[in-house]
Chains A and B, each alone.
Chain A
């Protein structure tokens, strides 16, 4: 590990980093615009100029292209450095419209941030600003303002290096330089809106988010996108019970710095058709009434038809905790064979980057719990005319298999879901549960990575976490009632019953998740044992 000196203090840093990264690793921020850790180094903004001691004396050098190698000695806070930053700020703002009051980036703008630290606070320019195009409809999700652009080229590099779709380029020369697309072409790729996140200023804004909310009103929760089985890490931005946007959260093992557009916009389902009340045949009733009648239905079926007449559908949409509780409690009541996986797959478009064909976030979680994810097996169970009562956890129910079920032998349906969907309407008893923004929980992605979400919103209406609703529902049938009061209690059971989670708790799950795949050593050991 190389030792470097920053402002006369020696630090040991990881090898192979540039100075911005190395300084950040020891808590020192070097201001920058064009540098982005997920993209190649361009070195054009000049904001990260620092003073470097070299054989020819102290030289101004950009930190982004300076490798943090042994013996590097830099000054990042001298008057000269501050003056250089002030100079760069002045140049960047020279032809900038300074239209913060109507700019969506306000509050999370690199220009605003550094202006507070290095701004000159006096406009020394006496000449007119350079005019460029505004409100350029650059793509289905993105709006461009060329005048706000500082030509850092992050968006260009993103299109060239990450999506390889090459839509955005810099055209022109000198102060006439501007970001544009080829005439008649749009910034239109499945990851296009990432350019909004990486744009350090208000040049590229999200059409979806524009003018909706000042960012300083938003609260942020760390979460995971549930749009597909990739489990991209996100920030979920919300205010007063409404979710306004997802932004990618860096996770080197999953999504790096990016999310797909489809996933990004999937936040919308959190604001639409939330199931708030308990229902009987689609009609709202007091929660306790519905709960009691559902309980009675279970008791009645058990008494009249026995355990085999009841089944339950686990959910690839619901959290690991919900599914575990479903499996655990029903296992106690009915025996282990009556909990089945989803009856159908939910497939969509995919690619070799982030988007997965499986549009459910937790199918791997079911497999991890040992619940079959073979739709055909479940369909067979559902087709069994002996099935008299079915408990369904969070399901989209748009598939023919359900329609058939509902039309033929028609078991009693108890649905626990978060959406006002068809199933909620059709079920005999519907209990509202929370969605992933309203609860703590974890999901296993397609790469066997267990990742957690934090609760961002208060549950809407009477919704309860799925595990809690299940516990209430099955309480009368349980010999010993587990005392779960929060997700950590559920984890108490999880770590007891699932060896892979031994010693873990929800709060100790790393922010970037935990791979459930065997480690290299474990694989080696397993192989050796196998060989013996």
Chain B
């Protein structure tokens, strides 16, 4: 989706505000949203791609005006309802529906904390050929899907070089919509800054973008 979230290469968004001694959370509610998202995510009713997409479909003005954890809260509510963990009525009333059962077994700290270093779980140990080889020239496809994609607009149609092959990962464009994992190779593709931004870019500089097989074609 060509949304506001795909902002690589935009200009005039203002200065970067670097807060000195920034706290991890700026309010207690932010930390609770963060923790609820991780804890509820442990039921594996959704995946990170689906979560990212909940933020991408926010109206653009809301996306720009809301804070990070406001976006998380909105996405969490959306997924909880859409994936059947709670109902919209329950969120409205703040009470479990009469006769609803309690989720078991409880996801205690002992179950949640050891899984943190393996939170993302996107790599798949399935054999699959690499469609592209390290050193090969490739073109990022010019695709404009209406759903979730991790192919940024600034790279589409541009030619780069396969820098390394990271192995097989789930494909976000289908995974975000619960349409299957479609595992395939992911590569770091090196694009010269001049290829992306034109002659005014410094000659040696480059941008590495991680890309799945389905985003690429031979150049």
**Is B truly associated with A?**
no
B residues lining the A interface (CB < 8 Å): none
A residues lining the B interface (CB < 8 Å): none
